[in-house]
Amino acid sequence: MAKKLFIEKDVTLDGIEGEYRNGGIYEFNTNADNQDANKRQEYLHGKLLETGVAHVVDFPQLQALENSMATLVKEHKAKKQQIKDSKRYRDNEAEREYQLEQLEIKLDEDIARVKAEYTKELELTERELALKAVQEVHAVDEGVQRWLGAEIAQLAYSDDQELDLQLMLTKVSAFNEQQLATVLSNASKIKQAINGNAKAEAVLKDIVAVAKRSNKATEINLKLRQLKALKGQNVDVAYQNYKRAKQNGGSI
C-alpha cells in the first residue's frame, strides 16, 4: 500500500537518501515483495511524521482514480499474456497481432479517460476547498482584539516578555476558533513588540502553533498546497513504466 506525505519544510533523514523538500509530495510503498524495503519505507514514513513537517495526503477519490489506473495496467498485462499464450491464434499470427494492437489502444483510451476524470476531480476539490477557505474567514473577536492590544503595548516595555507570553499561551489555549483566528492575525504585531527576544519568540511560536491547530482555514490552506503539488505529479506511474519498458523492448 502506497502512503503519501506532503512536506512543508525542508528536512533530511539518514543522509542524502532522506532529503525531502518543502512543498513536495513523497510516496512510500509498503507493499513490495522485499520485506527489508517495506521496513525501510515504514521507518522513513514514521520518522517524517515525527518531525512535525510532514502531513498525510488524504484525498480518497483522487487516490481511488490513481489506483484504478494501476489496476488497468495490471489487468492489461494479464490479458496481453493470455493472447500471447493462446493456441487459438497459432495458425493466424496476424490475428494475434491485431488483438494485441487493439488491447494497446484500449489501454491508452482507458488511461486517458481516467486521467481526465482525475484532473476534473482535482479541480473540483480545489474549487470546493477555496470556497470553504473564504467561508472560514472569521470576523475579529473585538474582546480578544482589545485584550491583545493591551498585551502588545505591555510587551514593548515588559521586564519579562517570556513570562508574559507564557501567561498568554495559557489563556490562548482555552480560546475558541474565532478568538484563535484573532490571535493569529496579530502574531506579527506581537513579534514586533518583543523585538528579537529569542526566549520570547520561542513561546510565541507555541502560541501560533496552538492557533493554527485549531484554525480550519489553516487546515484548508494546507490541503490546497497539497493539491497544487499533486498537479505536478505523474499519477499514471504504472502506465508510464509499462510504456517505457515496452519501448525499451522489455518482456511484458
Beta bridge partners of 20: 11
Write down the pLDDT at residue 250.
63
Q: Is 100 exposed, middle or buried (0-12, 13-18, 19+ CB in 10 A)?
A: middle
pLDDT of residue 212: 81
Produce one character per residue of 200-212: b if its CB has 16 or more CB atoms within 10 Å, e if not. bbebbeebbebbb
* Predicted confidence (pLDDT) per residue in 19-35, tens digit: 899 999 999 887 666 78
User: Tens digit of pLDDT for each residue in 184-193?
Assistant: 889 999 999 9
Rounded distance, CA 224 to CA 230, Å?
Answer: 10
According to the model, what pLDDT value does residue 85 have? 94
Residues in the chain where the model's pLDDT stays below 50: none
Contact 215, 177 (CB under 8 A): yes
Q: Which three cell numbers stand for residue 180?
A: 484563535
Between the alpha carbon of residue 41 and those of residues 25, 27, 106, the distances in Å are 15, 9, 34
Backbone φ, ψ for residue 222 (5° rounding): -65, -45
Task: Give the integer Cα–Cα distance in Å for 11 and 26.
Answer: 12
| Contacts (Cβ under 8 Å, ≥6 apart) of 25 | 4, 5, 6, 7, 57, 226, 229, 230, 233
